């Protein structure tokens, strides 16, 4: 194991460290319960930590402790869809002195009584919430009792940071396992840094993070499958990861199709592998069903549908008539903006120019990788287009699922944006990273990594500036003043915030130096 770890290039280690520290800084930058549905996700975790059973999809009301913390931090957002602006409670360093950061769960109202804010989160499978509640209980045992609610929220965020921190290493390992030369693989490792929304959500309490982590690990296993690995243990690993992902989020229903596509691809090159591939695919899908389908089956028996929340979502007026053209025009715009940077409850948007920059980079590079001249990247052991296409099939699968559910909910609720969220595509970040890296090497040669990192730096800088200005600043405030507000409202010692900010800058600089230095090295393929 340690021998394998020593083989990881320094640039990949730096990319992983930079990504982890960046996630940590975003955990401070995100206001308490500011990221998407964080209050609702946290409420279920705190509810389960009391020893309660997992609630039904329609029976949970946000508990008073979570709701009190929500109000304490003045995060009631009033969003104006017409102007794309929002108003929130004002925060200043002085006002932070009026907040009791030592208030614990029971002191803020506990869980027994309830406010009148329905919590829709129990519609999701329970794995993330069970595991997070166990983590919360373990923290309390180590501490010798409950911490303040603010501290517990930040510690839960840290658990989510740990889930996503390995993504650069997984992107590199997936590319290498597919046969990519090292410059392609290291470029893939840089790609997660280029998605600010991933850092925003990854530094919050959200079941997306467990789903993304499991899909990222699954991509690495499927890379072996694409190279012809038909061993039973590989199939079981793929099925188990997919099953656990299905128990984390309903998006997991697309994963068996991804698995089958990856098992089918080597057969197209070697027809004699059909029997072995079929057997392994059945083992993988069977394992996934055994591990991950029980929650949907239970809902089917109890509620008559695998997803009762979607079934019961009708709120549109009787006079509403769905407009397919308007929805189709809205869908790709909102999906791509939400992938790169729709922070909070859409009140902070990264902007059209930044969205286009990220989309053009990913789109053109992947298109170049799939549609360019029929040659491999680097030496003969590079990634074949057929294998790359199979790895990337999860992207249209996720897009199709989001589109179908989004259209269905639009017809029921009249809300164009319902379910159309770019973060639902994060399960495909590792395949997208590999595809982007392959295409970037075709288009930019040795400077592929520098281009990806440069785009990442621009997008992250823009996003952090917006988050400081819109979440922590008031009219006329400088970014330095907004940053001081972040530090003042943080429940941890202020130097910890400064350390995370400084470490992010230093590691980004070190990573940039290493990427540029490596451009002078020859391209060498992996051993055969």
Q: Is the pLDDT of residue 104 over 90?
A: yes
Q: Is the pLDDT of residue 79 over 80?
A: no
Inter-CA distances, 38 with 70, 109, 117, 119, 299, Å:
10, 18, 14, 11, 24
Give pTM, 2 decimals.
0.94
Task: For residue 320, give both structure tokens.
Answer: 């509403």
- Residue 17: inside a domain, yes or no? yes
Asked if 378 contacts 181 with a C-beta cutoff of 8 angstroms, the reply is: yes
Instruction: Place 75 in a pLDDT band, splitting at 50, 70 and 90.
Output: low
Instruction: Place 86 in a pLDDT band, splitting at 50, 70 and 90.
Output: low
- pLDDT at residue number 108: 93
Q: Is the pLDDT of residue 461 over 60?
A: yes
**In 23-113, where do the E strands start and end?**
78-80, 85-87
Q: Please list, residue by residue across 229-261, b when 16 or more beta carbons sit within 10 angstroms of its beta carbon and e when fewer do.
A: bbeeebbbbbbbbbbbbbbbbbbbbbbbebbbb
- pLDDT at residue number 144: 95
- Residue 525: inside a domain, yes or no? no
- Residue 526: inside a domain, yes or no? no
The residue segments making up the domain with residue 374 are 2-518
SS3 of 352, please? helix
- Residue 210: inside a domain, yes or no? yes
* Better pLDDT: 382 or 323: 323
- pLDDT at residue number 214: 98
- Residue 528: inside a domain, yes or no? no
CA–CA dist 166, 92 (Å, integer): 35
pLDDT, average across residues 145-165? 97
- Residue 384: inside a domain, yes or no? yes
- Residue 377: inside a domain, yes or no? yes
Q: What is the 3-state secondary structure (H, E, C) of 87-149?
A: ECCCCCHHHHCCCCCCCECHHHCCCCCCCCCECCHHHCCCHHHHHHHHHHHHHHHHHCCCCEH
**In 314-456, where do the E strands start and end?**
342-343, 348-349
- pLDDT at residue number 509: 97
Q: Please list, residue by residue across 300-310, b when 16 or more beta carbons sit within 10 angstroms of its beta carbon and e when fewer do.
A: eeebeebbbbb
Residue position matching structure tokens 């499991």: 214
- The domain tally of the chain equals 1
Mean pLDDT of the chain: 91
Task: For residue 233, give both structure tokens.
Answer: 């243990």
Question: What digits encode the pLDDT tens for the residues 328-374?
Answer: 999 999 999 999 999 988 888 998 999 999 999 999 999 999 987 64
CA–CA dist 298, 403 (Å, integer): 26
CA–CA dist 323, 313 (Å, integer): 18
DSSP for residue 378: S
Residue position matching structure tokens 């394992």: 287
Question: What digits encode the pLDDT tens for the residues 14-70?
Answer: 999 999 999 999 999 999 999 999 999 999 999 999 999 999 988 899 999 999 998
Q: Is the pLDDT of residue 527 over 70?
A: no
- Residue 486: inside a domain, yes or no? yes
């Amino acid at each position: 194991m340690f021998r394998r770890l020593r083989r990881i290039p320094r640039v990949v280690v730096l990319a992983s460290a930079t990504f982890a520290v960046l996630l940590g800084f975003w955990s401070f930058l995100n206001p308490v319960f500011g990221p998407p549905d964080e209050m609702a996700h946290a409420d279920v975790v705190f509810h389960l930590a009391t020893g309660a059973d997992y609630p039904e999809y329609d029976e949970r009301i946000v508990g008073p402790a979570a709701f009190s913390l929500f109000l304490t931090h003045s995060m009631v957002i009033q969003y104006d869809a017409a102007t794309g602006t929002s108003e929130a409670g004002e925060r200043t360093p002085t006002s932070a002195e009026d907040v009791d950061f030592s208030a614990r769960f029971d002191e803020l109202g506990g869980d027994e009584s309830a406010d009148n804010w329905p919590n829709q989160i129990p519609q999701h499978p329970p794995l993330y919430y069970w595991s997070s509640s166990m983590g919360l209980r373990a923290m309390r045992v180590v501490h010798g009792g409950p911490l303040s609610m603010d501290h517990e929220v930040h510690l839960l965020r840290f658990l989510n940071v740990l889930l996503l921190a390995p993504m650069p290493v997984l992107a590199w390992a997936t590319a290498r396992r597919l046969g990519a030369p090292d410059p392609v693989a290291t470029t893939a490792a840089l790609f997660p840094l280029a998605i600010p929304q991933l850092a925003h959500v990854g530094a919050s309490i959200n079941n997306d993070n467990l789903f993304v982590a499991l899909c990222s690990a699954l991509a690495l296993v499927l890379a072996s499958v694409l190279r012809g690995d038909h061993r039973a243990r590989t199939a079981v690993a793929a099925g188990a990861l997919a099953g656990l992902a299905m128990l984390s989020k309903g998006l997991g229903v697309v994963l068996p199709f991804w698995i089958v596509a990856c098992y089918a691809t080597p057969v197209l090159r070697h027809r004699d592998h059909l029997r072995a591939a079929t057997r392994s695919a059945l083992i993988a899908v069977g394992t996934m069903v055994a591990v991950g389908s029980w929650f949907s089956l239970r809902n089917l028996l109890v509620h008559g549908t695998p997803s009762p929340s979607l079934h019961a979502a009708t709120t549109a007026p009787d006079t509403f008539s769905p407009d397919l053209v308007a929805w189709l025009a809205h869908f790709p715009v909102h999906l791509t903006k939400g992938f790169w940077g729709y922070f909070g409850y859409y009140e902070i948007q990264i902007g059209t120019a930044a969205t286009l920059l990220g989309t053009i980079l990913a789109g053109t590079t992947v298109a170049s990788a799939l549609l360019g001249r029929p040659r491999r990247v680097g030496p003969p052991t590079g990634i074949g287009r057929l294998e790359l296409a199979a790895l990337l099939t999860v992207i249209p699968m996720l897009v199709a699922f989001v589109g179908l559910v989004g259209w269905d909910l639009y017809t029921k609720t009249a809300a164009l944006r319902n379910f159309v969220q770019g973060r639902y595509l994060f399960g495909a970040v590792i395949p997208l990273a590999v595809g982007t890296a392959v295409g970037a090497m075709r288009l930019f040669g040795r400077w592929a990594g520098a281009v990806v990192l440069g785009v990442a730096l621009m997008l992250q800088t823009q996003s952090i500036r917006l988050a400081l200005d819109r979440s922590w600043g008031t009219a006329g405030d400088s970014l330095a003043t907004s940053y001081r507000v972040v530090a003042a409202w943080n429940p941890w010692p202020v130097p910890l915030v400064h350390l995370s900010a400084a470490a992010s800058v230093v590691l980004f600089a070190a990573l940039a130096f290493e990427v540029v230095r490596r451009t002078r090295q020859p391209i060498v393929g992996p051993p055969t």
